[in-house]
Homo-oligomer: A and B are copies of this chain.
Amino acid sequence: MELHQGSLDVEAIFSKWLHEEEASNYGAYIPFVGTIRAEDGIEALSFDIYEPVLQQWFDNWVKKAEELGAKVKMAHAIGDVPVHTSSYISAVFSPKRRVALELIDEFVEDFKANAPIWKYDVKEGKRIYAADRSTPMNGSGLLSK
């Protein structure tokens, strides 16, 4: 797992991960590259990350992937990420394509639902929490009981 200030260098990360696993005898490598879309007049998106819990979330996925003979990797941006640049890359390596195709789907969806990352629209230099696109994490509401 790697966190970077600002936009990700997509080509560098793709190549680094490729070379890290080039002798591992995996048959399938599926990266997911997330890019900031120009929409609703935003200049950028901006991200806060709580790294200790993110690291644990990621470590759980590393174990889950290992049980399937696979490997997961991820990179995310911290702070402002201008439109048309990348904030998020995750990837799965696996001996077989079925495992890889299923795992990248689950990994990305669980990331969206449970990674402790908060997103803000940046408009006219102001940071506005993306409340309507955000999802309560698993187990939310515990302290309202």
**A97 touching B14 by the CB < 8 A rule?**
no
Which residues of chain A (20-66) have a CB below 8 Å from chain B?
Answer: 22-23, 25-39
**A97 touching B37 by the CB < 8 A rule?**
no
Q: Place the interface of chain A in its size category.
A: 20 to 34
Which residues of chain A (74-113) have a CB below 8 Å from chain B?
Answer: 84, 95, 97, 100-101, 104-105, 108-109, 112
Interface of A is mostly: mixed
Shortest distance in angstroms between A77's beta carbon and chain B's nearest beta carbon? Answer: 14
**In the assembled complex, A15 has its CB within 8 A of some CB on chain B:** yes
**B10 touching A18 by the CB < 8 A rule?**
yes
**B28 touching A32 by the CB < 8 A rule?**
yes
